Amino acid sequence: MARPRTADPDTPKVLEKVLQVLEAFDAEYPSWTETELRARLAIPSSTLNRILRGLEHAGYLLRADDGRYRLGISAVRLGRRADASLNLASVLQSELRALAAQTEELVILAVPELSSGLARYVATVDSSKRLRVTAVVGTGVPLTAGATAKALLAFAPQTQIDQVLEHPRERLAAGTVIRAKLVREQLAVIARRGWALSWEETYDGAWAVAAAVRADDGHAFASIGVAAPISRHSSSREAANRRAVMAAAGAATTKLAASRAG
């Protein structure tokens, strides 16, 4: 069965250089001067200067009085969000495995990256079936494509939904929805009924159902989806998977709420 398409073309050269700069900062080398970075990374002076100024302006780097750069508060926050996602996957592992055992299909836990317009897979449990859908942890899919992603976007603040829909959509599979108006209509339905359904939206040959894991304010901070080959679709199976995923999302919401209260 085909894997989800990650829509990741060759990394642009400027972005590659930005990542090289950020990855230079580690426990062994927590600070650098511009001259040291230029010698280490072999990035042209003008390009490196623009990158450093841009990262400093965005808060990802902090320049001290002595001219040395260190990671800034934005980088720290990004690391904390990544850590929170990993912790979330660990905390909900039992619910994910129980859902996979019940449905015998692929289970996905995703979190939203609203600034980039992506749903990021932070945990998966594979199906035990020979013919199955697979997904890779770390995969990012557009928040407008697929049940697991749309379950996140449907419960995002309206201003963030508007921002996501401002960007053009590309076709990932046969059923990818391109028109913004139709996506809005689907999001409204998902928000009203509490679950999402997709058919070959992110990868060919698969359908999925998903539900949001929601915070106290009603916004989704994660979603749980079940994806299966279209050869194993029926109205009864769809209903069963829908009930199972909604129960799992409800259990996850209750568990995390109790954890926060504790």
Show me where the domains of the chain are located.
13-71, 78-261
Domain 78-261 belongs in CATH node 3.40.50.2020: no
Task: Report yes or no: 156 and 112 within 8 Å, Cβ to Cβ.
Answer: yes
Sheet of 220-229: strands edge to edge? 140-142, 118-125, 106-113, 220-229, 206-214, 196-199
Mean pLDDT over each residue of the chain, to the nearest integer: 89
Across-strand partners of 224?
Answer: 109, 211
- Domain 13-71 sits in CATH at 1.10.10.10
Is the pTM higher than 0.85? The answer reads no
Would the pLDDT of 5 be above 60?
A: no
Q: What is the pLDDT of residues 123-169, one digit of tens each?
A: 999 999 999 999 999 899 999 999 999 999 999 999 999 999 998 89
Would the pLDDT of 7 be above 50?
A: no
Question: Which whole number is the average pLDDT over 104-108?
Answer: 97
What's the pLDDT band for 197 if we cut at 50, 70, 90? very high
